[in-house]
Chains A and B, each alone.
Chain A
Amino acid sequence: MGGHPGATDLPEAAAGQAARNVPEAVGRRLSSSAWSSGLSVPDFAACVSMGLRPLALVQGFCAMQWSAYAMGGGSPWGARPTAGAPAGAGTPFTSAGSGGYSESWPCPHGIFSAEHRWGGNYQQPWAEHAWSQGFGSAYVRMVEEAQQAGAQGIIDVVDTAQHLTEQSVIEFHVTGTAVAVEDSPPPPAPWSTYLAGQRLAKLFEAGFVPVSVAAAMSSVMMWPNCQTEYLLHGTGGWGYSYGGEIEQVINADTAVRRLARAAVRSQLGSDTLHGARFAVTRHTGNMGGHVVECTLRGTRVRRFKDFDPLAAPRPTVRLS
């Protein structure tokens, strides 16, 4: 992923599959003489003034079944190493499943019983691969639409993932506005960014060009041991310290963020991640246990001219 990402980075089979999955109505819509955009009026005005001409609102979808039983590796005990595991379906978005994070948390009291059980934290590569496959497929389809529209870039990208019909079905939805750059030859593949309008203009003015959106999800399952269970419920127990930190949870929370950051870093090469945003969710897994999931999104940008520092800003006081 050191070069320019996009549909051209995909293995041919994956790119072909994405192309086949774009509905036939897309061609009719994009060949219409009307154009569309998801930009607000100020963003639209700013983009036109910087030579970006909106062509079409483009989108990609992917509905994924999300089942714990589809896990390919990373089961809590006897987990097989996941280093070098392939990213989902050849998408440009590498999943966090590269390190095989796992920790076991034995009962500190040395007892084996239903209450004094061992616990463990482990990474869930199957969930990460499913996310990267769903997100990546939706992204590729959006890029495909943009290419059909003759776009050079996609701005104001918005992505969502929501449950459809039942808990185990998640639909990924990626939208953006395809734009053409006036008087400029097309790049190898459309670039993309979460930014639009003034913020995008400032990015170019500062000497950065957007390369692509960058995103990754990491997932860690935590099975609390007896001590963690006591601390989470505030009940007594041996070795229980009032007001103490709950280390097993902290380790899971820390690991899930580091894994997401490492996955996004692996997409960056020597480029920079701008406007990064963490989103962390927790829920109970299908088979019990606590699942912590973290998504990290941002725009991968590349410097195209030497840094030209701003003059030291002048402090002002508004008299109104």
Chain B
Amino acid sequence: MKIKFGIVVFPGANCDHDAYYATKKVLGYDAEFLWHKEPDLKGSNAILLPGGFSYGDYLRTGAIARFSPIMDEVIKFANSGGIVIGICNGFQILLETGLLPGIMQKNINLKFICKDVYLRVENKNTLFTKLVDKNVIKIPIAHGEGNYYADEKTLSELEKNNQVVFRYSDSKGDVTPESNPNGSLNNIAGIINKEGNVLGMMPHPERACDTALSRTDGALIFKSIAESIYK
């Protein structure tokens, strides 16, 4: 089956071209930009909500983008089992849609953080991580509001169902308070929905695909998605 990533372009998105470059130019999959005002997924078999600052992050991150015309189609696609990955602002938009639970608060140190982080891969049995062949991956983060919060009940559900896919850790995979860059509860960096077809993550895998950038762990996630579509 042909693999086509549909990359949604919101006003204020700024990682859409990075995502296009990573999936199409580096990894060789088909990719197409999807303008947020056109409710048409154009035959994509994976939807990527990119990072950035949709609608200027006004009101709350992702709050307005969530009601962009294309989002009804994305939600339908997700509810019928389609693969959706939200990266950074894309994750925040998924939280606003309710496809994933919880919210993002401002980073606990009140700073915008842009740096490489280590992630312990907690669940390799997902559509997004099946080809990840190591326990710790290195991927950059770049956000001001990535401090994941959910109420106790939601959090224990996430943990019980193995929905926490990535956790901030040190290079050895130890999950410590020091390796938590933003104050996220349980060092959460990425979660999946119960059904397993929607992933939200704050780190940017699209910025870790090209060997020229000396980090390639992000490619494992896109390769896993492609592998999942083949099957």
Partners in one complex: no
